[in-house]
């Protein structure tokens, strides 16, 4: 089965998997952006900003050693293990469903850190290996194809499998942080109406779907590598 690498004779049919992965990722990203944009225009009845929501959630969880910082960029947020919740300027200052839901989600990661959440320990353990694997997997695999070295193809597939495992392990951490966020948003009184609760849940589900899409894309890419290796074996 010759796919014509380099100066190929015809288009590699496994690119269909790459295109499918791209479509899934774009669809998830578009849905997430649309949902967050929509609910960023919905001001919550309590008037609490993203910064205030983060501080209130952290304190309600008994966490007083985590700071809440404003940073550049739009719609960006993350929790760092230097004990900071980082929110973009718009999320930091906005009093919207998107702002408080996103802030509370990042605080969910802070709560995981404080409680020694087991999945996060596994993520931290895998992260350095994943970084190396994600950078090396495709180049190693391509070298295996070019020089018809099955061992390099196998190593490339194994390395990329680490990326897939990492994406899979990340999912429960993100979903758990969102569950913690929803509980705290209601328990602290930040969200008071059923409409606000539904909106926050939609925002967090939309964000979670981007991680599902990333896993699906990684699985499709892994499938492609296996098919390519199998095709060369039959030549």
Residue of 106, 174, 194, 195 with catalytic role: 106
CA distances from 198 to 101, 133, 182, 202, 208 (A): 11, 39, 10, 6, 15
CA angle 187, 60, 77 (to 5 degrees): 90
> Do the beta carbons of residue 107 and residue 61 sit within 8 Å?
yes
Angle, in degrees to the nearest 10, between helices 97-115 and 194-234: 70
Is 106 part of the annotated catalytic residue set?
A: yes
> From CA 52, how far away is CA 50, in angstroms rounded?
6
CA distances from 188 to 92, 115, 144, 159, 192 (A): 18, 19, 56, 44, 9
Phi, psi for residue 70 in degrees, rounded to 5: -95, 140
- Helix, strand, or coil here: 69? strand
Active site residues: 106
């Amino acid at each position: 089965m010759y796919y014509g690498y380099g100066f190929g004779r015809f288009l590699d049919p496994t690119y269909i998997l790459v295109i499918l992965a791209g479509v899934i990722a774009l669809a998830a990203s578009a849905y997430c952006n649309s949902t967050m944009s929509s609910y960023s225009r919905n001001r919550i009845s309590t008037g609490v900003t993203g910064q205030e929501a983060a501080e209130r959630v952290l304190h309600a969880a008994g966490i007083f050693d985590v700071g809440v910082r404003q940073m550049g960029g739009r719609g960006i947020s993350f929790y760092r293990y230097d004990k900071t919740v980082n929110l973009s300027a718009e999320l930091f200052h906005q009093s919207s469903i998107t702002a408080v839901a996103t802030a509370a989600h990042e605080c969910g990661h802070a709560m995981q850190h404080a409680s020694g959440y087991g999945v996060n320990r596994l993520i931290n353990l895998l992260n350095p290996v994943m970084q190396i694997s994600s950078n090396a997997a495709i180049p190693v695999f391509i070298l295996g194809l070019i020089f018809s070295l099955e061992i390099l193809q196998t190593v490339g597939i194994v390395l990329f499998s680490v990326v897939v495992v990492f994406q899979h392990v990340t999912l429960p951490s993100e979903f758990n942080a969102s569950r913690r966020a929803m509980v705290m948003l209601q328990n602290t009184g930040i969200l008071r109406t059923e409409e606000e609760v539904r909106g926050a849940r939609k925002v967090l589900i939309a964000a979670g779907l981007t991680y599902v899409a990333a896993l699906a894309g990684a699985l499709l890419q892994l499938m492609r590598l296996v098919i390519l290796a199998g095709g060369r074996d039959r030549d």
